């Protein structure tokens, strides 16, 4: 299912809003917690008990499920709060969500950067109401609930209330402005109205003592009467929440249409930064959807850090670097460089305040529970940003934190022994040393750069020369085959360690199933049996997870870009579609969708190396607007490729690059510098149905290569 939701979002914005059923993992939908395979149904129907704010996007067992401040339009007594009603006539657009409850209330949601606006159209009723529950949080699954630690709610006069709930150690403040002429406004606690009460304070709340509480607006509704609910959010108190509300919604006037239009325009601007021509309607739909999902997270909120008082960006829902550093962060660096720079500035500040670059960073206080996934991944994005000449960051200060972070967690063992288990962290730390060395060298600290580069060569300690694969170890969400084909900084030496080109290609072929005879097992079709055998081998997961998503491009380093074309073509054709199940795995905050965007463009970023690998694209023409420049990718000879999961029962052949030109000059290499792409230009790829000699002679750069001469590409 991809674990995404159809709620209203703003590009990389702080707030989202969606119908809430309590289902896993976003709060929307029908399914219970499940980390692999077909999800189990928790609910028989699509339903909602209200509409909540702050949702994850595409994650799995993140243990941070948000869904705060539930707003419920009702024509029932307050005792019915928490009941769920079927949803009908859903509409989802960029920045907008709508549905009709079984009660006859039409519900519309939109969001800005730091606000949400709800519009409810009621049927005629003598006692309609809008109930806001500040105690809500998390999911209706085992261990999925989030309970506020402290809370305060206050009525501020007719139509306006405010409150702060401390969730996971973070003070979330909301100011609510409601257009409800002739309606009563009251606070409530434990589903009982507090007539005349103007304030509720809860100094200490526990799971055993929590009772729901919040604010309520109630009165008669004429047929088709609309009530608009405007909510401003902040992590720095109610005063700033009010400022955010007034900045985006004005003071006391209807704002739904204006906020929706501005958010729609922001989405149009962001989505317009990558344009494609050609392709089938289904493929264009999947591409646009992928680009949309790639721009939802992380959340970047200016001047909203609850943990340090100074102004500046605060980024959260970095869920997680392990998911996004290979694909999504390079995409943001290209098409949303200002926000990408804000993200890096925020991560540097987190490192300064908390002592390490986080692998995952959520809207919560506490230790980073994702450190076992990987080590020192922020270094790749920082190295790329420096290579691209980003001037807004204090690079000397960033380098200090990059070096210090290398000795934390598993880094101390790596420093002492040159190897650490889980063995994949050896690869992470060696690569991070290489990335840090690049920054140090550019800042003229040559002694530091030499020392870091020397330690970066310890990547080889992770491999068994006898097998050419990683050594036996513990592995996170994969096996040693999945992790053995990462794009390292010294792929030439990596291939030599595996026994040379032929041996390395043979292992890659086995990993991807080339030449594998169909396996026959009792009760299984041959293809199903082959897939089972591949799963036992930890074969390429078809993008079901992150460890091997760059592995198809490892063929480039062994002189076989045609194999890359075959694998990527198959994944684009068979693993993605327009309907439910159209994603082959969790979208993981846009990491998987970003993979689709790059693969469709015929480019793949090698994070941390200022490098793009070139492959046959899926569209006739594409324009990537990197910063203020346009990089155009044109093809000749492209054949349309239908998407297999949309019902096409044949597999059109892959297409292969026959020759290439860059700005009119022949390009014989299968790679470009990221700086070349970001400067803009025109890449023309002539395609054909058979593999060619293109790209076989000039390999992408490796650390052990001799220094390039000016004549080399």
What does the pLDDT read at residue 182?
85
DSSP structure string for 508-537: HHHHHTTTPPPP--TTS-HHHHHHHHHHHT
DSSP, residue by residue, 431-471: HHHHHHHHHHHHTT-HHHHHHHHHHHGGGGGGEETTTTEEP
Pick the CATH number of 68-245+255-269 from 2.70.98.10, 2.80.10.50, 3.30.2350.10, 3.40.190.10: 2.70.98.10
> What are the backbone dihedrals phi and psi of residue 136, each rounded to the nearest 5 degrees, phi first?
-70, 145
CB 600, CB 617: distance < 8 Å: yes
Angle at which helices 337-354 and 378-387 cross, to 10°? 130
CB atoms inside a 10 Å sphere around CB 209: 9
Supply the DSSP string of 4-24, one letter for each residue.
Answer: ----B--TT-S--EEEE--BT
Residues of the chain with CATH 2.70.98.10: 68-245+255-269
The boundaries of every CATH 3.30.2080.10 domain in the chain are 272-688
Angle at 668 between CA 665 and CA 674, to 5 degrees: 80
Rounded-to-integer distance, Cα 498 and Cα 503, Å: 6
pLDDT of amino acid 647: 44
* pLDDT at residue 585 in the model: 87
pLDDT for 258 equals: 98
Secondary structure of residue 241 in the 3-state scheme: helix
Beta bridge partners of 99: 107
Are the C-beta atoms of residues 15 and 112 closer than 8 Å to each other? Answer: yes
Residue 581's pLDDT is 79
pLDDT for position 532: 63
pLDDT given at position 584: 87
Q: Please count the other Cβ atoms lying within 10 Å of the Cβ belonging to residue 524.
A: 13
| The CATH number, out of the four listed (3.30.70.360, 3.30.2080.10, 3.40.50.150, 3.30.1180.20), of the domain defined by the range 272-688 | 3.30.2080.10
Gap between the Cα atoms of 19 and 232, Å rounded: 18
Residue 653 is predicted with a pLDDT of 72
Q: How many Å apart are CA 119 and CA 16, to the nearest integer? A: 15
Q: Per-block average pLDDT, block size 10, for the chain (713 residues)?
A: 93 98 96 81 96 95 91 96 97 98 97 98 96 97 93 93 96 95 92 92 92 96 96 98 97 93 98 96 95 98 96 95 96 97 97 93 85 94 97 95 95 96 98 98 97 98 97 92 96 97 95 70 51 63 81 97 94 88 90 97 98 97 94 93 56 85 98 97 97 95 73 39
């Amino acid at each position: 299912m991809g674990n995404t939701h159809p709620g209203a979002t703003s590009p990389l914005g702080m707030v989202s809003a969606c119908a809430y059923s309590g289902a896993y993992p976003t709060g929307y939908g029908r399914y219970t917690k499940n980390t692999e395979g077909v999800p189990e149904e928790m609910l028989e129907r699509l339903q909602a008990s209200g509409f909540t704010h702050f949702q994850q996007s595409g994650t799995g067992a993140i243990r941070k499920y948000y869904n705060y401040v539930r707003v419920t339009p009702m024509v029932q007594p307050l005792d019915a709060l928490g009941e769920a009603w079927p949803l009908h006539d859903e509409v989802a657009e960029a920045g907008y969500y709508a549905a009709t409850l079984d009660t006859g209330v039409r519900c519309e949601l939109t969001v800005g950067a730091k606000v949400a606006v709800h519009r409810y159209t009621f049927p005629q009723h003598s006692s309609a109401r809008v109930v806001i529950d500040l105690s809500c949080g998390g999911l209706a699954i085992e261990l999925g609930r989030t309970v506020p630690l402290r809370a305060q709610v206050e009525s501020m006069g007719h139509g306006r209330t405010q409150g702060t709930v401390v969730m996971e150690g973070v003070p979330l403040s909301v100011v609510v402005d409601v257009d409800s002429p002739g309606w009563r406004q009251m606070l409530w606690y434990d589903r009982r109205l507090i007539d005349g009460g103007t304030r509720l304070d809860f100094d200490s709340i526990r799971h055993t003592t929590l009772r729901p509480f919040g604010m309520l607006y109630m009165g008669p509704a004429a047929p088709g009467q609309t009530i608009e609910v405007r909510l401003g959010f902040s992590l720095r108190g109610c005063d700033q929440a009010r400022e955010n509300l007034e900045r985006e919604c004005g003071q006391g006037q209807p704002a739904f249409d204006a906020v929706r239009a501005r958010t729609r325009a922001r989405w149009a601007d962001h989505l317009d930064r990558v344009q494609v021509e050609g392709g089938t309607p289904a493929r264009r739909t999947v591409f646009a959807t992928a680009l949309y999902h790639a721009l939802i997270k992380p959340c970047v909120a200016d001047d909203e850090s609850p943990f340090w008082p100074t102004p500046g960006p605060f980024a959260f829902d970095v869920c997680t670097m392990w998911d996004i550093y290979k694909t999504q962060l390079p995409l943001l660096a290209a098409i949303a460089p200002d926000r990408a720079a804000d993200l890096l500035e925020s991560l540097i500040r987190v490192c300064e305040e908390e002592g390490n670059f986080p692998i995952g960073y959520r809207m919560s206080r506490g230790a980073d529970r994702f450190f076992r996934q990987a080590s020192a991944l922020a270094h790749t994005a920082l190295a790329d940003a420096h290579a691209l000449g980003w001037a807004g960051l204090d690079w000397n200060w960033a380098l200090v934190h990059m070096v210090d972070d290398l000795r934390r967690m598993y880094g101390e063992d790596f420093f002492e022994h040159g190897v650490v288990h889980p063995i994949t962290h050896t690869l992470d730390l060696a690569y991070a040393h290489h990335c840090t060395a690049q920054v140090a060298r550019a800042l003229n600290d040559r002694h530091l750069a030499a020392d870091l580069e020397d330690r970066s060569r310890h990547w080889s300690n992770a491999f068994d020369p006898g097998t050419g694969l990683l050594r036996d170890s513990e592995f996170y969400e994969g096996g040693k085959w999945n992790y053995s084909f990462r794009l390292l900084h010294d792929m030439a030496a990596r291939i030599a360690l595996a026994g040379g080109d032929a041996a390395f290609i043979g292992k890659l072929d086995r990993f991807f199933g080339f030449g594998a005879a169909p396996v026959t097992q009792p009760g299984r079709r041959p293809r199903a049996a082959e897939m089972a055998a591949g799963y036992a081998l930890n074969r390429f997961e078809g993008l079901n997870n992150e460890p091997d998503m760059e592995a198809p491009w490892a063929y480039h380093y062994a002189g076989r870009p045609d194999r890359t074309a075959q694998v990527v073509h198959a994944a684009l054709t068979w693993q993605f579609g327009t309907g439910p199940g159209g994603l082959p795995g969790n979208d993981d905050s846009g990491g998987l969708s970003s993979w689709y965007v790059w693969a469709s463009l015929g480019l793949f970023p090698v994070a941390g190396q200022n490098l793009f690998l070139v492959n046959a694209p899926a569209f006739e023409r594409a324009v990537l607007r990197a910063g203020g420049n346009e990089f155009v990718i044109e093809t000749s000879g492209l054949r349309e490729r239908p998407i297999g999961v949309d019902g096409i029962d044949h597999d059109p052949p892959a297409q292969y690059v026959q020759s290439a030109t860059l700005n009119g000059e022949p390009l014989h290499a299968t790679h470009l510098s990221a700086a070349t792409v970001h400067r803009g230009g025109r890449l023309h790829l002539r395609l054909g149905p058979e593999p060619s000699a293109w790209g076989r002679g000039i390999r992408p750069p490796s650390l052990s290569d001799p220094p390039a001469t000016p004549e080399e590409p």
